[in-house]
Structure 1
Amino acid sequence: MAKLDEIAELLTEEIQEFENSVSRLEELQAFLMNYKIKPDTTDIDFILKRYNDHQKKVIDDHHKLMGNVVYYIKKSLTFPKWAIKLFWGLLVIIFLVLGFSFYRVSRIPEIRQEAYGQGEENAIGHFRAFFEASPEASELYQKWREPQSKK
Structure 2
Amino acid sequence: MGLHKILKLIVGIVGIVALVVAGMVWANNEAIVGGDSQNLVDIMILLAWIVIGIAIVLVAIFVIKGLFSGNAKNTLIGAGAFLLVVAISYFAASGAEEVAMKDGEMLSASGSQWVSAGINAFFILAAIAIVLMVISGAKKLVNK
Greater radius of gyration (CA)? 1
Scaled by the length of structure 1, the TM-score of the pair is 0.25
Scaled by the length of structure 2, the TM-score of the pair is 0.26
Query: Highest relative contact order (Cα 8 Å, sep 6+), 1 or 2?
Result: 2
